[in-house]
């Protein structure tokens, strides 16, 4: 799914807008106003995977936007995210020097992406 990255906030497209081009037209015509968007939380997940239930409506000051781009992302339910995270932990994290057997998915949520990339991974020495 396509999402907007607006100054490092990940948002769904606003209603009736489905492309970056349409959004730019809207922004140029409504420069001094606010736009309500659904913003996805970046807590408890690693981009480009997000938890759909972790979002909130927010007003964005259009005149203050510095950077905007479109990204390809995956918005999953919390249950689906947890199932996929558990699979990644079982295949990747068990080979990490930092892994402890009592680790839960919650201890990995902000460290490892569902594609298996982890910023804290250190291969276990044999």
- pLDDT tens digit string along 36-77? 999 999 999 999 999 999 999 999 898 888 999 999 999 999
The domain boundary, picked from 36, 52, 76, lies at 76
- pLDDT for residue 27 is more than 80: yes
In whole numbers, what is the pLDDT of the chain averaged over residues? 89
Q: Which residues of 63-81 are buried (b: 16+ CB within 10 A; e: fewer)?
A: eeeeebeeeebbbbeeeeb
Domain that holds residue 22: 2-76
Does one domain contain both 9 and 70?
yes
Please state the domain count of the chain.
Answer: 2
Q: Which letter does DSSP use for residue 107 in this model?
A: G
Does one domain contain both 91 and 106?
yes
Does one domain contain both 63 and 15?
yes
Does one domain contain both 22 and 34?
yes
Query: Residue 113: CB partners within 8 Å, gap ≥ 6?
Result: 46, 47, 48, 49, 88
* pLDDT (0 to 100) of residue 102: 62
- pLDDT for residue 109 is more than 90: no
Does one domain contain both 108 and 56?
no
* pLDDT (0 to 100) of residue 126: 67
State pLDDT tens for residues 70-107.
Answer: 999 999 999 999 999 999 988 888 888 878 776 567 77
Does one domain contain both 90 and 72?
no
pTM: 0.85
The domain boundary, picked from 39, 54, 76, lies at 76
Does one domain contain both 62 and 85?
no
Does one domain contain both 69 and 89?
no
Average pLDDT over residues 97-120: 80
* pLDDT (0 to 100) of residue 50: 97
Does one domain contain both 38 and 62?
yes
């Amino acid at each position: 799914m396509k999402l907007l990255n607006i100054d490092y906030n990940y948002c769904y497209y606003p209603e009736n807008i489905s492309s970056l081009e349409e959004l730019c037209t809207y922004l140029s015509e409504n420069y001094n106003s606010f736009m309500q968007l659904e913003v996805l939380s970046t807590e408890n997940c690693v981009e480009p995977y997000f938890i759909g239930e972790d979002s909130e409506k927010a007003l964005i000051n259009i005149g203050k936007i510095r950077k905007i781009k479109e990204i390809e992302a995956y918005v999953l339910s919390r249950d689906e995210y947890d199932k996929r995270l558990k699979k990644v932990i079982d295949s990747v994290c068990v080979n990490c020097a930092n892994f402890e057997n009592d680790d839960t998915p919650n201890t990995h949520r902000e460290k490892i992406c569902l594609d298996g990339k982890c910023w804290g991974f250190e291969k276990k020495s044999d």
